[in-house]
Amino acid sequence: MHPFQSFCRDELTRMKDEGRYRSFAALNKSRQQFPRYTDAQGRVITVWSSNDYLGLGGSDVLAEAAIAAVREHGVGSGGTRNISGNTPAHEALERELASLHGKQAALVFTSGYVANQAALGTILASMGGNWHVFSDAKNHNSMIAGMKNARAKTIFRHNDAAHLDALLAAAEPGVNKLVAFESVYSMDGDIAPLAELAEICRKHGALSYLDEVHAVGMYGATGAGVAERDGVAERIDIIQGTLAKAFGCHGGYVAGDAEIIDYLRSAAAGFIFTTSLPPALAAAALASVRHVKQATELRARHAEGARKLKDAFRAVGIEPMPSVSHIVPVMVGEAALCREVSRLMLEDHGLYVTPINYPTVPRGTERLRFTPTPRHNDAEIAFAAQALASVFRKVGLLRAADDAA
């Protein structure tokens, strides 16, 4: 046995002992019935943790666009964009995304992770690597991966504009500065003070890089994200987003100044050397973005569902974490117990909600993460709250006297 095999065995044993071993629920997604899936026994399971935030992944709008593109172009893209994987749908999608964010240009990648890693990594390797990057303490792993080789990296306290201001003021003279942050933080559900952060970046001549992955489609008049909602998009240099969450499709992108985007198109290895999105996905994503721009009523129902779920939890004596967004996390605080709560929700009540454990969140802050969609109805919301209260009582996280129901 090679030493690496022994290492893997020992690490997997440790993960299982700590309750961090990752297993996947065997659920069959239904395009028509989402968020109701079926398990291996044919039992209907209501999913509460999908990132298909608006429930568009199975919509006729996307399906018909994808089917038409498959019939015309086939399934695979045939190569990188430079070789043979460029189609009118890719170019139209990029124009639509640039328009969505009020930017000159956009570039589509194979995923949001790749977009962050490739864009940030390429920028921070440019200009002789003379960059100092300032990163919010809770930035996503994909952003951290893109910053890995920065000459200097400083972490500023989460959503703390004053701390960022002080750190930028103390930065080495003559260094290029980049500030990276998110709008909606997906594990806590809080939202960054974008106007303050953008102003501080301008004050210190720093390039601003905003990840709107968990906000695009859901915030702002046309679904362009929190930057649109807060009226600061034009003050953000680079906006990154995904097509795989609220837009119900797949892929990621960055939008910004035409010359910056053109440079990334010509220099980012994660774009140049990767087979492009299949034409069907590009076509479906294009149809989705155009649809979502007009879907104000859908966004309103989505926000209302999140509010109702938070209220339902409080009504049964469970206080969700202080989220101000559509994400509704509920603290458990211990990895094995978090997995057990998730298991009981599925087995006893037919509800699937993902346990979030280390390293996604710090040890001791393990939680369940609920993401209500416009397709979860009021009865399902009430049932989820009652079910969670029942499970919490069963595992000792809620006393009967605490239960307000």
CA distance 318 to 390: 11
CA distance 278 to 80: 10
The predicted pLDDT at position 22 comes to 85
| Long-range pairs, 158-166, Cβ under 8 A, ≥24 | 158/185, 159/190, 159/192, 159/193, 161/193, 161/196, 161/197, 161/200, 164/134, 164/197, 164/200, 165/200, 165/203, 165/204
Contacts with 263 (C-beta within 8 Å, 6 or more apart), sequence order: 122, 126
The amino acid that residue 260 corresponds to is I
The predicted pLDDT at position 404 comes to 53
CA distance 86 to 275: 10
The predicted pLDDT at position 401 comes to 56
pLDDT along the chain (405 residues), means of 10: 95 90 87 93 96 96 97 95 94 98 98 98 96 98 95 97 98 96 97 98 98 98 98 98 98 98 98 97 98 97 98 98 97 94 97 93 95 98 98 91 55
Place of tokens 């290895």: 269
Q: Choosing from 245, 308, 310, 394, which is the catalytic residue?
A: 245
The predicted pLDDT at position 57 comes to 96
**Is 245 designated active site?**
yes
The predicted pLDDT at position 257 comes to 98
The tokens of 301 are what? 């129902």
